Chains A and B, each alone.
Chain A
Amino acid sequence: MSPLTHFIVSTPPHIKSEQNINSIMRWVCLALAPAFCVSLYSFGWYALFVTAVCVGACIATEAICQRLRHVPVTINDFSAVVTGLLLAAVIPPNVDWWVAAVGGIFAIAVGKHCFGGLGNNIWNPALLARAFLQVAVASQMNSGAWGKLAQGTDGWTKLGHTLHGAFDQLANTPDAVTGATAMAQISRPVAETKDFVMQNIPGYWQLVKDSFWGYEGGSIAEVSAVMLLLGGLLLLWKKIITWEIPVMYLGTVALLGWICPAPYLYQGETLYTPLFSGPVLLHLVGGGVMIGAFFMATDMVTTPMTKTGRIIFGIGCGVITIMIRVYSSAYPEGVCYSILLMNTCVPLIDAWTKPKKFGQHAAASANHAGK
């Protein structure tokens, strides 16, 4: 190394925190790893292929878009990888490969670069792509299409079932990966009796347990609540994300999920379960709420910048999620739309929750006293 005769001149500060965009993105990848491991293990090679297509499409699209926009190509920063992983996480493991590719292209091209690239997008790109696929290729995205996995045609899946049995003696169902997700099962179920609560659906506790450990059906990486929780705690511990959104989101889902009377069908009639009887645990571990609360709703770009704003955002996500889950007749799951809708509200929330500048109150009261 040649000795410097002059030193670098710049404005302070001359030290910087360790976290930069690259390190944040890498930590998010690492935090997603446990959930992906469980999912790829139980869904098999094809899920890994779908994930790879998503990530690959995202990286390629990012590079092409940046070339077209004449801005530096920043695929090394892992942000496209994160988008790809998050997209893979929320699509079913058995979609055709081109669905995954279209999703990845849409996420980056429309969800991100149409708005000006990282930092400028309004909606979470992965969720935007999922919403797009939900409309564009509904047959591939709805739960009924999961038959081939439930049949256990894949060696890995079979192995997964075997281990599942070893983990849990109660799991005597060889088709643990079923056609209907947990959320679909509590969406307007047909009841045998009149005094029905959601906990009465067949195999409720098994459903909760399976969803928690990751033996339930679902999208690629949203099946194992415990692994997502672990990843989320890692992000909290490393101070990549703050507590407000996950805590308020999960708290609101639990509270409203418990309070709200849910519709069910009894002899062709729509009846409602009593207040304060909702299936809290299933609401927390089932569906996409864990990945939503820790990985989607905490996306920095599309969430409020102030602490108060993030609290409002988390509560809003929780309210919309439960409203869709419990009362929508079309969708059993509402995480994706709740976050997208709240993303839309972010500029408003930011405007409402501007921090008070230091000394503003003192200045106002001094003026008041002066008058």
Chain B
Amino acid sequence: MSGAFRGGTHPHDFKEFSRAAAIANAPVPDELVVPAVQHIGAPAKICVKVGDIVKRGQVIAEAGGFVSAAVHSPVSGKVKRLDKTAHPMGMTVDAVILENDHNDEWAEGLNTEPIDWTTLTAEEMKKRISAAGLVGMGGATFPTHVKLSPPPEKKIEAVILNGVECEPFLTADDRLMRESPKTIVEGLRIVMKIVNAPRGIIGIEENKPEAIASMQQAVSGINDIEVKPLPVMYPQGAEKQLIFACLGKEVPSGGLPMDAGAVVQNVGTANAIYEAVVLNRPLTERITSVTGPGIERPGNYRVRLGTPAKVLLDLCGFKKGLTKKLIYGGPMMGAAHYDETVPVNKGMSGILALTEANEDDYRDCIRCGRCVDGCPAGLIPSEISILCERVKYLDTPSVNVLDCIECGVCTYVCPARRPIVQWIKVAKSMLAAERARQQMKAKQEQEKKAAKA
């Protein structure tokens, strides 16, 4: 196994289901369910009341802090009610339920004629990006403006666009790169100007030759941007692995991409950055693949955020009886969900219907070493799994559990079918709980001391 980074594995890519389908506009339903939590960080605060008339692009939930993102109305219409809705990760979150008037009117001053972004300063552009509620659209949903605000002492050597799309099945980024390469490149140039980077690199896995050709054509004549075809190897699209493949530098353990002089953005995010800066369009839609063996007519759709997944599933011929697992995201890192009505959010790169559950009973570790060979983080996943199996979660930092990127390679390759990533997730949350408990204890002791004094 050789790739551009350590470890990795080769799952069958299953892109054949939907790669040939051009991006189509999904129907906009009469009722949309727009969650206030569509990003990592503080939840957005809903700022509309029942009965309010809203226009497309109007803020309906304000950012809850610096590491947060505003949510905008994806349609024009009326606020029907405020309610809870299911989130792909399994919890329920606050949501605004909108009644669509099908007029699709933009709010005042939005969706303007294209402007020449080179006349804007970095601060002005960042403000537009922040106002547009942009988050990482590859699935991590980290607020984009935060990533674009490195402290001045961190010199950014290159902006890397992530067009790897290493998750099997998903083809949304592939189609976007084939169909609108120009806007992606503009988005990249905007980011390069904001973080003052001399180089731009667009990393694409070699299993997408059309996307590579399309992007290469779009950057021809631009000297500081390079399209970099990368070997097909999961998880090539993991941020740190991508930086290593493009720049040959490791992000320090516990560090951020900027520590290696890099800023990484997904190609979908770059496209959204272009729309936010040049067209003054907030994020109200995204490209989502609807695919898998449980889908009769797989495809790629431009979907309004807040559209219930069921609308897309029905459109594509959902074989509900045959489907064992419904997944929001890709099969390696996406979330399986019990409910088909979860609304599309900013990070939902795919809706996947699998007809095989792939859940066997697990066995003892047979020490085959496949997880060790495959781990891109250089860990010994089997060791972590054995500690967790023995409920020694608090000992797991000694085997570097906090360096795990949860890519799922170990669990994919494990012949004993051990749920290693699941254990690691539990261990991480146990450690977080323990940290909180320690902090609480320290605080109480301090208070006691203060009271005595």
B338/A9 in contact, CB under 8 A: yes
A355/B372 in contact, CB under 8 A: yes
Kindly state whether residue A138 has any CB partner on chain B within 8 Å: no
A4/B375 in contact, CB under 8 A: no
Set B11, B369, B425: member contacting A300, Cβ < 8 A: B369
Within 8 A of B (CB), among A11-61: 11-17, 19-21, 23-24
A15/B11 in contact, CB under 8 A: yes
B residues within 8 A CB of A8?
324-325, 336, 357, 359
Q: What sequence of 0s and 1s flags, for each residue 295-312 of chain A, a beta carbon within 8 Å of any chain B beta carbon?
A: 000001111111100100
Q: Taking the nearest CB of chain B, how far is it from the CB of A177, in angstroms?
A: 37
Within 8 A of A (CB), among B386-416: 400, 403, 408, 411-416
A117→B323 CA distance, assembly (Å): 36
Within 8 A of B (CB), among A281-305: 300-305
A residues within 8 A CB of B252?
359, 362-363, 366
A7/B366 in contact, CB under 8 A: no
B403/A358 in contact, CB under 8 A: yes
CB-CB nearest in chain B for A305: B369
B332/A17 in contact, CB under 8 A: no
Kindly state whether residue B315 has any CB partner on chain A within 8 Å: no
Tell me the count of chain B residues lying within 8 A, CB to CB, of chain A: 74
Kindly state whether residue A118 has any CB partner on chain B within 8 Å: yes
Q: Taking the nearest CB of chain B, how far is it from the CB of A227, in angstroms?
A: 25
A354/B403 in contact, CB under 8 A: no
Set A16, A356, A362: member contacting B255, Cβ < 8 A: A362
A120→B386 CA distance, assembly (Å): 11
B382/A305 in contact, CB under 8 A: yes
A354/B364 in contact, CB under 8 A: no
Set A7, A305, A356: member contacting B336, Cβ < 8 A: A7
The verdict on A21 contacting B366 (CB below 8 Å), with A7-B323, A12-B335, A356-B378 known, is yes
A12/B421 in contact, CB under 8 A: yes
Kindly state whether residue B262 has any CB partner on chain A within 8 Å: no
A362/B367 in contact, CB under 8 A: no
A1/B321 in contact, CB under 8 A: yes
Set B11, B333, B366: member contacting A119, Cβ < 8 A: B366
Q: What sequence of 0s and 1s flags, for each residue 352-391 of chain B, a beta carbon within 8 Å of any chain A beta carbon?
A: 1010011111011111111011011111101000000000
The verdict on A305 contacting B412 (CB below 8 Å), with A357-B400, A360-B253 known, is no
The verdict on A117 contacting B364 (CB below 8 Å), with A12-B332, A305-B382, A358-B376 known, is yes
Kindly state whether residue A148 has any CB partner on chain B within 8 Å: no
CB-CB nearest in chain B for A74: B363
The verdict on A15 contacting B366 (CB below 8 Å), with A306-B372, A362-B249, A363-B254 known, is no
Kindly state whether residue B105 has any CB partner on chain A within 8 Å: no
B residues within 8 A CB of A70?
none
B332/A15 in contact, CB under 8 A: yes
B residues within 8 A CB of A305?
367-369, 372, 380, 382
B411/A13 in contact, CB under 8 A: yes
A residues within 8 A CB of B373?
242, 306-307
A357/B367 in contact, CB under 8 A: no
Within 8 A of B (CB), among A315-371: 354-363, 366
CB-CB nearest in chain A for B416: A21
A residues within 8 A CB of B331?
12-15
The verdict on A11 contacting B403 (CB below 8 Å), with A358-B6, A359-B252 known, is no
A72→B90 CA distance, assembly (Å): 32
B residues within 8 A CB of A3?
320-321
A118/B363 in contact, CB under 8 A: yes
A3→B323 CA distance, assembly (Å): 9
B residues within 8 A CB of A357?
253, 377-379, 400, 403
Q: Taking the nearest CB of chain B, how far is it from the CB of A133, in angstroms?
A: 25
Q: Taking the nearest CB of chain A, how far is it from the CB of B2, in angstroms?
A: 12
Kindly state whether residue B327 has any CB partner on chain A within 8 Å: yes
A358→B380 CA distance, assembly (Å): 12
Kindly state whether residue A10 has any CB partner on chain B within 8 Å: yes
Q: Taking the nearest CB of chain B, how far is it from the CB of A77, in angstroms?
A: 8
Kindly state whether residue B251 has any CB partner on chain A within 8 Å: yes
B403/A20 in contact, CB under 8 A: no
Kindly state whether residue B155 has any CB partner on chain A within 8 Å: no
Q: What sequence of 0s and 1s flags, for each residue 111-140 of chain A, a beta carbon within 8 Å of any chain B beta carbon?
A: 000001111100000000000000000000
B379/A4 in contact, CB under 8 A: no
A354→B383 CA distance, assembly (Å): 11
B240/A7 in contact, CB under 8 A: no
A residues within 8 A CB of B337?
7, 9
Kindly state whether residue B150 has any CB partner on chain A within 8 Å: no
CB-CB nearest in chain B for A309: B369
Within 8 A of A (CB), among B310-343: 320-327, 329, 331-340
Set B321, B334, B415: member contacting A14, Cβ < 8 A: B334
Kindly state whether residue B9 has any CB partner on chain A within 8 Å: yes
A310→B329 CA distance, assembly (Å): 37
16 contacts between A and B (CB under 8 A): A4-B321, A7-B323, A7-B325, A8-B336, A10-B422, A13-B421, A15-B354, A16-B412, A16-B414, A17-B9, A301-B366, A355-B378, A358-B403, A359-B253, A359-B403, A360-B378
Ordered nearest first, which 6 A-B pairs have the shortest CB separation?
Answer: A305-B369, A13-B408, A119-B364, A3-B321, A363-B252, A359-B253
A interface with B by C-beta (< 8 Å): 1-4, 6-17, 19-21, 23-24, 72, 74, 116-120, 242, 300-307, 310, 354-363, 366
Q: A303-B367, A303-B369 are in contact. List 7 more A-B contacts (CB 8 A).
A: A2-B321, A8-B325, A11-B422, A12-B411, A300-B366, A359-B255, A359-B403
